[in-house]
Amino acid sequence: MAALILRFAPDHPAAAGHFPGNPIIPGACLLSETVRAIASQLRDGGAPGRLRYAKFLHPVRPGDRLAIHFERDRDGVVRFACAIGTTTALTGQIEWQTTRAAE
């Protein structure tokens, strides 16, 4: 299983109106940044495909440091879990598309 760290800046623009006085990173932004971070590590010419599921379990706030743990199985499915310390914030699965040379 691979791991990487994603940190959301304390002044992250997505949190400005989400929610005033109690900012959190919107789920769409959190998922997008997680997939982008995973893609940067999987440098095989593949790309994210269909999202099988994503489960948001705990809010992520500006300034949080998110540990992303992921693995890709032989069928190309990437399973991931994101945590702030020991608290899981997001889990999910993505069908990862691989590019293959023409035969």
| Residues annotated as part of the active site | 18
| Max CA distance (Å), the chain | 57
| Cβ atoms 98, 76 nearer than 8 A | yes
| Cβ atoms 69, 2 nearer than 8 A | yes
Distance CA 88, CA 15 (A): 20
Read off the tokens for 3.
Answer: 């791991």
